[in-house]
Amino acid sequence: MPLELVHPDWGLIVPQLIIVGTIIAILTADLILPRDKQGAVSWIAMVGLVASLASLLTIDWTAGDTTFNEMFRADSFSLFINIVVLAAGVLAVMISSSYVQSLEERGTMPMPEYLVLVMFSILGAMIVGASGDLLILFIGIEMGSLATYVLTGFARRRMTSLEGALKYFLLGSFSSAILVFGMAWIYGTTGTTSIPEISQQVGTIMSGEQFPEPALLLALLLVAIGLAFKIAAVPFHMWTPDAYQGAPTPVSAYMSVVPKVAGFAALVRVLAEGLGPLSDTWLLLIAILAIITMFYGNVVAISQRDVKRMLAYSSIGHTGYILVGLAAYSNDVPIDMSIGSVLFYLFAYTFMNIGAFAVVTWLQHRGQGVDLDSFNGLGVRSPLTALAMTVFMFSLMGVPPLIGFYAKYYVILAAIEAEMIWLAVAVVLASAVSAFFYLRVVVAMYFNNPEGEWRPQATPLLGLGLLIMAVGTVALGFFSGPVLDLAMNWVDAFEV
């Protein structure tokens, strides 16, 4: 049997190749540079990420081109995922470089290794967004997860960091095994691993007499559970609070966004696109998951004193809101809002959530802890930082006209468009609950007296990152139109 070698279109994977090149450059710099000059590698990472962002412009995303035997796709969906992930990467590098160098027992966290792991995780998420095949999707998810496990335990002298990493790793690898077993059964029932072909095959199976085929339902369930672990949906969230609390704070910021984006990208690719014809079966499942997740996350967050742990539960709550957008999906009549609102939410969430963790990092630089009392009197000590934190808290709560409000608004619109009024009501109720613990931070900042030692320190890059995120949270709220238009283009991507 002669092999037909198809020469891949390398032009379509330039953004990913740039990241790979950056990783090699950072590793080489690690070998060449002396130990005290290694801070410079964060600039290599920044340049690489920005170059990758710029290279997105060289590709025509509307054409929906594919390469590597349709395993890799350059469509509008992958464009949006790339933008979110790369932006999160730039912000994560900005807020972490000073932390990695000066906190956590100075010198135990080598900067180049840290950045390489961050870049690998970004690459994994980008691959998931662009995947047209279960194999590529799985590789992308694992590449992202494996790097994040190590990042969680990066403060390797601190027991809590290692404990978080261990729990994250054990549950993460467990969920990967469940996910890939589900993929095996999808392959077994459809005879293909290509996502568009799976969609066709499932459509054929559905129109046949043997409905619903039990093996297909099993596969659906396994894949949904596996990915629910990755996005931290209740009841598969057990690792989240420990991992977020234990990890170094910039890593918590980073892992609350990028792996979640990768998880949602995979959910959309597999459920909405591959198993789209089965949507009647999984929509209810996702809707129930969404409700449990948003209420559990927000209610438990109320009782937390540790801010990182509180933000972990709040991020579980946000997973619930985003799932509402997915639950509004419909295979028959494409509802533009559904996946569009998921994408827009992920974009908004990137700015406000990394921002909130960045403020915690900022406080840690000034000798403060991570519990609620550290925020006491921040309004007096540093009015600008307090203002930024207020913006992030209000945005996470969903106060107009900040970006978080629009994100929730579009999710609610999607739910109403899909005639799931109860889901829309649930989002509003859960947001009302969440106001309680977000406002508590604001109250602590402005109404409590400062206490504890305060060590001023210059952190220019972190400050710049905070500024960008705070301005972005406000400005993108006012000008959410273009971003939303971009998010709505997902519809083109799915017309295979």
Q: Does 234 bind another protein (CB under 8 A)?
A: no
- With CB under 8 A as the contact rule, the residue among 159, 443, 464, 471 that binds another protein is 159
Task: Give kind and range of the element (H or E) at residue 405.
Answer: helix 403-417
Q: Smallest gap, in angstroms, from Cβ of residue 131 to another protein?
A: 13
- With CB under 8 A as the contact rule, the residue among 11, 14, 17, 30 that binds another protein is 30
Q: Does 299 bind another protein (CB under 8 A)?
A: no
Q: Does 34 bind another protein (CB under 8 A)?
A: no
d(CA 295, CA 318): 10
- With CB under 8 A as the contact rule, the residue among 102, 156, 330, 448 that binds another protein is 156
Q: Smallest gap, in angstroms, from Cβ of residue 99 to another protein?
A: 20
Which residues are CB-contacts of 184 (< 8 A; sequence separation ≥ 6)? none
Q: Does 373 bind another protein (CB under 8 A)?
A: no
Q: Smallest gap, in angstroms, from Cβ of residue 177 to another protein?
A: 4
Q: Does 181 bind another protein (CB under 8 A)?
A: yes
Q: Does 177 bind another protein (CB under 8 A)?
A: yes
d(CA 271, CA 259): 18
Q: Does 210 bind another protein (CB under 8 A)?
A: no
What is the footprint of another protein within residues 189-208 (CB under 8 A)?
191-193
Which residues are CB-contacts of 54 (< 8 A; sequence separation ≥ 6)? none
What is the footprint of another protein within residues 302-321 (CB under 8 A)?
306, 309
Give the nearer residue to another protein in terms of CB position, either 96 or 193.
193
**Cβ–Cβ under 8 Å, residues 322 and 264:** yes
> 329 phi and psi, to 5 degrees?
-65, 145
| The two structure tokens encoding residue 391 | 């913006």
Q: Smallest gap, in angstroms, from Cβ of residue 193 to another protein?
A: 6
Give the nearer residue to another protein in terms of CB position, either 98 or 176.
176
d(CA 416, CA 338): 10
Give the nearer residue to another protein in terms of CB position, either 177 or 425.
177
Q: Does 68 bind another protein (CB under 8 A)?
A: no
Across-strand partners of 72? 67, 131
For 320-383, give the DSSP string. Answer: HHHHHHHHT--SSS--HHHHHHHHHHHHHHHHHHHHHHHHHHHHHHTT--SBGGGGTTHHHH-H
**Cβ–Cβ under 8 Å, residues 346 and 265:** no
Region from 135-143, 224-232, 341-349, 431-439 binding another protein, contact rule CB under 8 A = 135-143
| Four-point Cα dihedral 447, 449, 452, 458, nearest 10 | 70
Among the listed residues 455, 474, 306, the one whose alpha carbon sits nearest the alpha carbon of residue 382: 455
Region from 49-57, 170-178, 249-257, 363-371 binding another protein, contact rule CB under 8 A = 170-178
Residues that bind another protein (CB under 8 A): 2-3, 5, 7, 24, 27, 30-31, 134-135, 138-139, 142, 146, 149-150, 153, 156-157, 159-160, 162-166, 169-170, 173-174, 176-178, 180-181, 183-185, 187-188, 191-193, 241-242, 245-246, 306, 309
